[in-house]
Amino acid sequence: SVVAERILQRRSLDMRNRQQDWQESSEGQKMQEFRRSLPAYKEKEALLHAISRNQVVVVSGETGCGKTTQLPQYILESETEASCGAFCSIICTQPRRISAMAVAERVAAERGENLGDSVGYKVRLEGMKGRDTRLLFCTTGILLRRLLVDRNLQGVTHVIVDEIHERGMNEDFLLIVLKDLLPRRPELRLVLMSATLNAELFSSYFGGAPMIHIPGFTYPVRSHFLENILETIGYRLTPYNQIDNYGQDKMWKMQKQALRKRKTQIASAVEDALDAADFKKYSPRTRESLSCWNPDSIGFNLIEHVLCHICQRERPGAILVFMTGWDDINALKDQLEAHPLLGDPSRVLLLACHGSMASSEQKLIFNKPEGAVRKIVLATNMAETSITINDVVFVVDCGKAKETSYDALNNTPCLLPTWISQAAARQRRGRAGRVQPGECYHLYPRCVHDAFSDYQLPELLRTPLQSLCLQIKSLKLGSISEFLSKALQPPELLSVQNAIEYLKIIGALDEDENLTMLGKNLSMLPVEPKLGKMLILGSIFNCLGPILTVVAGLSVRDPFLMPFDKKDLAESAKAQFSAREFSDHLALVRAFEGWKEAEKEQSGYEYCWRNFLSAQTLKAIDSLRKQFFHLLKDIGLVDDIESCNQWSHDQHLIRAVICAGLFPGICSIVNKEKSVSLKTMEDGLVLLHSLLDPKLDISSHDDLLSVVRFLVSQDQCEGRFVFGRQMPTSLQKAKIGEQTGTLSVGGGHNSKSQLQTLLARAGHQPPMYKTKQ
Ligand code: ADP
Ligand code: MG
């Protein structure tokens, strides 16, 4: 072991020499200079001092001041400088995969090293980490997973939890576990980092831990709310002189028409937005339902106009547009690319910022474009805090973000565009003032902004706790409700009880709240229990292929595109896939399989185009499928691709596995002669959630039946419903895959808006039910 130690010392010496060379190179010098220019650098000594004297330190500072990239490096440098080869092992968690990867890459580059030398990363099913890695960026989930096998984090010297202000479920969970761990590991150091200033909350949670604020400098940002935007942009719509900018005669005519059309479109978008102006008067309940009202109303055309306005009238500077999600970003990007000005690559560099960005794309986002080209970046709320684009001068804020929400009463999660908080709006605004005074265009009236909540509700208080409960159990952290009561802001008891009850019903916990075999397996799968159960059953029953597609599809996003101007066409394209099986899930399977076939013949894109499918999403599903397969193989549930697909052609079996996964969120439609009823095994009565549509009272059984009748007549029986009550427990014996259809409950994925569309199309008077033969 003396020899081993020598070798280790030698290696670290080599590495240090290499680093010195880099630091002396001109590139290295420039990088050093940049690093020293960051606000965090001035606080370096104070930070290191506080960390050495206290077990827990809370660090806050304006986004971009150098918390994420610098602080872990300061610790690394001070530890390695302190004494030759002093050992340190720093783990820095990030809420998102992309930030863990991007930050690791950036930090390695700042140090002139390869990724995987002293700096590495690890995210779900992927990583880059070597023997000499001392600073590891990982997702919060990865650290939790490590705690599963290594309760005391043996060998780790520093844990840095980044972006704690986001209050994700995993982060809140991690804090409880770490708080528990600290007394057992007195030499372990914990640093909490946050962008906005609610540091007191975290400090007092850790018994008054010292807080260090990194003062940053941002330029003032002027806010424009919808009222002002209309004044500046709305009026400029009418005079055609603006069109001269586009030149040519023919273009002029087309533009005139387009502008007219757009003007009416814009008017309706504005009307929608102004409808929301009465926002403040609504009760919290209605406000909640308003929050999922008309996701299209962020108004692509309005955004287009604002962007045009900036490009034509304003000074140079990049534009950052906050959108709700990837689908929106793609759709908007398509629209803008068709625009004569915004789609002209010699004048505008249009970029989308997303989770699976290649690093070449990333560089484009961070770099200043050449010459007079204006950079426009379309991003989700990820660009609020975890990444910083320096040259942004203009921010366009749609006011919404996708958020998983959960109501303890109906026990169904859904991912919906929701109004952001005032803190988030402030954060978005702040992005415009990095290099010079900026402008922020909020696409909603000021009164809507004033009605935003101060902070976003922590995820722990708004999402189902099922996966979390499994983790608590597999980490052997004792009673679930007792453990969760120690959270920073503990969830409602009802939500906790619901989750425990659910896990008992699906057989993951026994009566005494102990993990069953199923529960153990589920806790090893990084998906919701219902999806995990599908994977496990799919492996056991050797029909894994289609199940992998379903689960991957449900965990990525729906690959079926619904462009709002071609909704009917898109829906009929989708219906082709589900016509035979009456199932959304199986439609996904068929669409995916069709795509794989088309890919073989190099016609994947054409296939997607024809069928309103997103090639990008299908690719993501494909890669996730592979990852799930390897995971199942690692756990020992499957051997090889052939044997686990022996029964993959058996539609009945597949439906059974899907239903078993969704259980108890299912019920059966019973067709009798001319009547149809919706039955659960015990009480047979199913209520639709009244929140489905505040204007329609569809809470009565009869109303529900008319919906069901309509759906059945449309051959759409699966994946369409959200129910008001949790299903009773005794559905295990429900016959599945027979002529009686199956309805799944919850699952988000637009069920609400789909149902609303269906209801609207049915004119609320669904056609008579036709008995299917
Ligand atoms: P914080 O965590 O405080 O928000 P960061 O440490 O992420 O700040 O970033 C500090 C600075 O480093 C930012 O101003 C940003 O400009 C720069 N930076 C970070 N990542 C990159 C990157 N991948 N490419 C170029 N510059 C980057
Ligand atoms: Mg950061």
Copy the structure tokens of residue 515.
Answer: 């993990």
**Residue 596 Cα to chain centre, angstroms:** 26
Please count the other Cβ atoms lying within 10 Å of the Cβ belonging to residue 765: 7
**Is 337 strand, coil or helix?**
helix
**Each residue of 368-397: pLDDT tens digit?**
888 889 999 999 888 887 778 889 999 999
Position 428 scores a pLDDT of 93
What are the distances in angstroms from CA 247 to CA 59, 263, 340, 345, 591? 53, 21, 11, 17, 44
Q: What is the C-alpha to C-alpha distance for residues 719 and 700, in angstroms, rounded to an integer?
A: 20
Cα(440) to centroid(ligand 1), Å: 21
Structure tokens at 278: 């009465």
Contacts 24+ apart (CB under 8 A), 113-118: 113/15, 113/18, 113/19, 113/22, 117/15, 118/15, 118/76
Q: Whose CA is nearest to atom 10 of ligand 1?
A: 66
Q: Which atom of ligand 1 is nearest to the CA of 61?
A: 3
C-alpha–C-alpha distance, residues 529 and 533, integer Å = 6
Q: Which atom of ligand 1 is nearest to the CA of 40?
A: 3
Span from the CA of 64 to the centroid of ligand 2 (angstroms)? 7
Distances in Å between the alpha carbon of 735 and those of 110, 659, 679, 686, 742? 61, 10, 11, 18, 9
Cα of 468 vs centre of ligand 1, distance in Å, is 32
Which ligand sits closest to the CA of 102? 1
Strands (E), 29-81: 56-61
Distances in Å between the Cα of 740 and the Cα atoms of 431, 596, 632, 733 are: 54, 31, 32, 14
pLDDT at 198: 78
Of the listed ligands, the closest to the CA of 353 is 1
Which residue, 383, 201, 7, 264, is CA-closest to 375?
383
**In sequence order, what are the beta bridge partners of 397?**
322, 442
- Number of Cβ atoms within 10 Å of the Cβ of 99: 24
Rounded Cα distance between 715 and 669, Å, is 12
85 Cα–ligand 2 center, Å: 28
How many angstroms is it from 171 CA to the middle of ligand 2?
Answer: 15
Query: Do the bridges between strand 413-419 and strand 400-406 make them parallel or antiparallel, or are there none, so unpaired?
Result: antiparallel
- Closest C-alpha to 628, from 560, 533, 548: 548
66 CA → ligand 1 middle, Å: 6
Q: How far is the CA of 66 from the centre of ligand 2 (A)?
A: 7
Note the Cα 12 to chain centre separation in Å. Answer: 39
pLDDT at 420: 86
Nearest residue (CA) to ligand 1, atom 16:
390
Q: Of ligand 1's atoms, which has the minimum distance to the CA of residue 389? A: 16
Q: H-helix or E-strand containing 91?
A: strand 90-94
**Rounded to the nearest 5 degrees, what angle is found at the Cα of 746, between the Cα atoms of 741 and 752?**
95
Helix (H) or strand (E) holding 334: helix 326-337
pLDDT at 432: 92
How many Å lie between the centroid of ligand 1 and the Cα of residue 65? Answer: 8
The number of the ligand nearest the C-alpha atom of 36 reads 1
Q: Of all atoms in ligand 1, which is nearest to the CA of residue 434?
A: 14
- Determine whether 84 is exposed, middle or buried from the number of CB atoms within 10 Å of its CB (0-12, 13-18, 19+): exposed
**66 CA closest ligand 1 atom index:** 6
Q: What is the pLDDT of residues 476-535, one digit of tens each?
A: 889 999 999 999 999 888 778 888 988 998 899 999 999 999 999 998 888 888 889 999
Residue among 304, 308, 236 nearest 269 (CA) = 304
| Strand partners of residue 61 | 214
Probe target for ligand 1 pocket from 94, 106, 367, with the most ligand atoms within 8 Å of CB: 106
In Å, the largest CA–CA distance within the chain is 85
What is the distance in A from the centroid of ligand 2 to the CA of 580?
Answer: 49
| Confidence at residue 227, expressed as pLDDT on a 0 to 100 scale | 73
| Length of the chain (residues) | 773
Report pLDDT for 419: 80
| Ligand 1 atom closest to 70 (CA) | 6
| Residues facing residue 81 across a β-bridge | none
Of 661, 643, 452, nearest in space to 554 by CA: 661
Q: Which atom of ligand 1 is nearest to the CA of 385?
A: 4
User: What pLDDT, on the 0 to 100 scale, is given for residue 233?
Assistant: 63
Ligand 2: centre distance to CA 65 (Å): 8
Predicted TM-score (pTM) of this structure: 0.70
Helix (H, G, I), strand (E, B) or coil at 574: helix
Q: Which ligand is nearest to the CA of 96?
A: 2
Ligand 1 atom 13: the closest Cα is on which residue? 64
**Atom number, ligand 1, closest to the C-alpha of residue 162:** 2
Which DSSP string corresponds to 687-735?
-B-GGG-TTS---SHHHHHHHHHHHHHTT--SS-B-BSSPPPSGGGG--
Q: From the CA of 102, give the closest atom in ligand 1.
A: 23
Minimal-distance CA residue to ligand 1 atom 21:
106
The token duo for 461 is 């208080």
pLDDT value at position 414? Answer: 52
Q: What is the dihedral of CA 61, 66, 69, 75, to 10 degrees?
A: -80
- pLDDT tens readout for residues 592-614: 999 999 999 999 999 998 999 98
SS3 assignment for 162-204: CCHHHCCHHHHHHHHHHHHHHHHCCCCEEEEEECCCCHHHHHH
pLDDT recorded at residue 679? 53
* Among 226, 213, 312, 331, residue whose Cα is nearest residue 270: 226
Which atom, in ligand 1's list, is nearest to the CA of 363?
Answer: 24
Closest to 381 measured CA to CA, from 163, 171, 215, 173: 163
Please give the distance, rounded to the nearest whole angstrom, from the Cα atom of residue 136 to the centre of ligand 2: 15
Q: Which of 33, 69, 362 to mutate to test the pocket of ligand 1 (most atoms within 8 A of CB)?
A: 69
Q: What does the alpha-carbon distance between residue 393 and residue 219 come to, in Å, rounded to a whole number?
A: 10
Q: Which residue has the CA at smallest separation from atom 14 of ligand 1?
A: 64
The long-range contacts involving 228-234, CB below 8 angstroms and separated by at least 24 positions, are 229/302, 229/306, 229/441, 229/443, 230/270, 232/309, 233/305, 233/306, 233/309, 234/266, 234/270
With contact defined as beta carbons under 8 Å apart, do 128 and 115 qualify?
A: yes
For a pocket test of ligand 1, which of 359, 388, 390, 392 has the largest count of ligand atoms closer than 8 A to its C-beta?
Answer: 388
Which residue has its alpha carbon closest to ligand 1 atom 5?
66
* pLDDT attached to residue 359: 65
- 221-224 β-sheet, strand order: 221-224, 438-442, 392-397, 318-322, 374-379, 348-352
Q: What Å distances lie between residue 509 and 240, 479, 497, 599, 603, CA to CA?
A: 68, 12, 13, 43, 47
The residue contributing the CA closest to ligand 1 atom 18 is: 388
The candidate with the shortest Cα–Cα distance to 651, out of 560, 585, 700, is 585
Tokens of 733: 């014996």
Residue 541 Cα to ligand 2 midpoint, Å, equals 45
What per-residue confidence (pLDDT) applies to 310?
A: 93
> Residue of the nearest CA to atom 1 in ligand 1?
64
Ligand 1 mean position to 452 CA, how many Å? 29
Angle, helices 326-337 vs 300-313, to 10°: value is 50
Ligand approaching nearest to the C-alpha of 389: 1
Residue-wise pLDDT for 170-229, tens only, equals: 899 999 999 999 999 999 999 999 887 678 899 999 999 999 999 887 889 999 987 788
CA of 599 to the centre of ligand 1 (A): 38
Query: What one-character-per-residue DSSP string does 242-294 give?
Result: GGGGG--HHHHHHHHHHHHHHHHHHHHHHHHHHHGGGGGGS-HHHHHHHTTS-
Tell the residue nearest (CA) to atom 23 of ligand 1. 106
Distance (Å, whole) CA 768 – CA 759: 14
C-alpha span between 593 and 606 (Å, rounded): 15
The four Cα atoms 546, 547, 552, 554 give a dihedral, to 10 degrees, of 110
Rounded to whole angstroms, how far apart are CA atoms 394 and 314?
A: 9
CB atoms within 10 A of CB 370: 7
Dihedral (C-alpha) 124, 129, 131, 133: value to the nearest 10 degrees? Answer: -110
Q: How far apart are CA 348 and CA 404, in angstroms?
A: 34
- Which region, left, alpha or beta, applies to residue 593 given φ > 0 means left and ψ of -120 to 50 means alpha? alpha
Q: Give the position, in ligand 1's atom list, of the atom nearest the Cα of 71.
A: 6
Spans in the chain with pLDDT lower than 70: 82-86, 197, 233-299, 355-359, 404-417, 564-565, 578-583, 664-773
Pocket of ligand 1 (CB under 6 A): 38, 61, 63-70, 102, 106, 366, 388, 390
Residue 160 has a CB neighbour count (10 Å cut-off) of 24
